């Protein structure tokens, strides 16, 4: 295939000063990628996904459509970092998204982005991201100080948005009304609402309830996945307008017990498939039945993707210190979900709002349903 692409360099464009990114953290990430190259025996690597680019650039926005492909590609080699974007995106990238030490190149808006980036490789044949998916995922696992601080702030603000919106909810409010109020709060935070779910009392059987015009009724769930600086906070909260039935209160306590067992299994050196095995056993142990895990995904490591990756019986990635997770055990009419980090002191919940009611479960404060 012949690639007809004009490549121009804009690294010295006015306004291309440092924007997102922590220089110390970026240096560690670059070394991690260079280690991958050394292990593979290749001279360069082409990063092309939102997850990899946002991680390596330490928070830069390289998308336009939330559902679209990135509008940039990154060529990493021993000599430096080269970000290639379309000519109609280059000025904004240079002014607002380009970390120090990254050379910016542009191609025509109708050009071939990945081919142009590959041309910058010394041999013209860089290692493709898809060839080292597992290695890059491992490189993202252990969070660094700057991104840990950014993630904790995002998660706390997301939890606060849920508190603010659900505290004002009424039984007559619609699911779309709750979702739209949450969307406004998330965007006002400078974040992007990647997922907004809501179900009222009449739709409680759905695990992924896209909102409808249905009223909330006596009880409702809201779920937010909010992205900022490339990081995705995942939070679920429940609200009710009565005291709750004995069966509901019992199920809520039991699903929190399932989660507590999963937290106990999330320790340095464990494997994701081992943690997943504990999830399966916990459902049986706490009265949900052995097959409950088959009815919805259970979560996994979090960060620059909603789950990075989802845990399954086949995922054997190791658990490491400072890694972040969102486990989301669920049962009929119940679900619990927060974003947490594995620290030297154990599990630290990041998506915390002190205004939300909680109960102590195995030493960790966990959210209750907000009763209005």
Give mean pLDDT in consecutive 10-residue pieces for the chain, a chain of 372 residues: 39 43 93 98 97 97 96 97 98 95 97 96 93 98 96 98 98 98 98 98 94 98 97 98 97 98 98 98 97 97 97 97 98 98 98 98 98 98
- Same domain as 195, residue 54: no
Classify residue 2: in a domain, yes or no.
no
Classify residue 1: in a domain, yes or no.
no
Instruction: Specify the CATH number for the domain of residue 278.
Output: 3.90.230.10
Instruction: Specify the CATH number for the domain of residue 97.
Output: 3.40.350.10
In angstroms, what CA-CA distances link 180 with 136, 162, 213?
35, 12, 12
Model pTM score: 0.94
Structural domain of 30? 8-139
In angstroms, what CA-CA distances link 312 with 30, 279, 283, 293, 330?
30, 10, 15, 10, 15
Classify residue 196: in a domain, yes or no.
yes
Strand partners, 340: 325, 349
pLDDT at position 123? 84
- Same domain as 120, residue 155: no
- Same domain as 172, residue 134: no
- Same domain as 151, residue 129: no
- Same domain as 294, residue 191: yes
- Same domain as 72, residue 13: yes
Classify residue 183: in a domain, yes or no.
yes
pLDDT at position 13? 39
pLDDT at position 122? 87
- The two tokens of residue 342 are 């594995």
Q: How many CA atoms, within 13 angstroms, populate the side-chain half-sphere of residue 196?
A: 22
Instruction: Give CA–CA dist 229/26, Å, rounded.
Output: 14
Helix, strand, coil proportions of the chain in percent (round to 5)?
35, 25, 40
Instruction: Give CA–CA dist 186/181, Å, rounded.
Output: 9
pLDDT at position 11? 42
């Amino acid at each position: 295939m012949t690639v007809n692409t004009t490549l121009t360099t804009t690294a010295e464009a006015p306004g291309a000063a440092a924007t997102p990114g922590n220089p110390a953290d970026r240096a560690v990430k670059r070394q991690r990628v260079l280690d991958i190259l050394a292990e593979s025996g290749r001279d360069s690597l082409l990063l092309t996904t939102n997850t990899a680019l946002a991680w390596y650039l330490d928070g830069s926005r390289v998308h336009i459509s939330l559902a679209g492909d990135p509008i940039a590609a990154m060529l990493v080699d021993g000599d430096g970092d080269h970000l290639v974007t379309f000519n109609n995106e280059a000025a904004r990238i240079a002014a607002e998204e380009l970390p120090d030490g990254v050379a910016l190149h542009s191609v025509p808006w109708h050009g071939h982005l990945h081919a142009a980036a590959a041309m910058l490789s010394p041999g013209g044949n860089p290692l493709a991201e898809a060839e080292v998916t597992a290695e890059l995922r491992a490189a993202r696992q252990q969070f660094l100080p700057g991104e840990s601080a950014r993630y904790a702030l995002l998660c706390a603000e997301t939890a606060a948005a849920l508190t603010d919106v659900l505290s004002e909810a009424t039984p007559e409010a619609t699911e779309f009304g709750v979702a739209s109020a949450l969307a406004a709060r998330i965007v006002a935070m400078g974040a992007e609402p990647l997922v907004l779910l809501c179900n009222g009392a009449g739709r409680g059987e759905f695990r992924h309830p896209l909102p409808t015009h249905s009223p909330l009724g006596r009880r409702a769930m809201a779920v937010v996945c909010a992205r900022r600086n490339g990081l995705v906070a995942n939070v679920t909260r429940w609200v009710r307008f009565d005291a709750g039935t004995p069966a509901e209160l019992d199920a809520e306590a039991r699903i929190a017990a399932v989660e507590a067992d999963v937290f106990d299994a999330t320790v340095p050196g464990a494997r994701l498939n081992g943690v997943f095995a504990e999830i399966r056993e916990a459902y049986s142990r706490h009265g949900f039945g052995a097959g409950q895990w088959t009815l919805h995904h259970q979560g996994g490591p979090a960060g620059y993707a909603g789950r990075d990756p989802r845990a399954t019986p086949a995922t054997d990635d190791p658990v490491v210190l400072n890694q972040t997770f969102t486990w989301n055990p669920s049962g009929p009419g119940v679900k619990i979900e927060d974003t947490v980090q594995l620290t030297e002191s154990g599990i630290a919940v990041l998506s915390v709002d002190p205004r939300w009611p909680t109960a102590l479960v195995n030493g960790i404060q966990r959210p209750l349903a907000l009763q209005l």
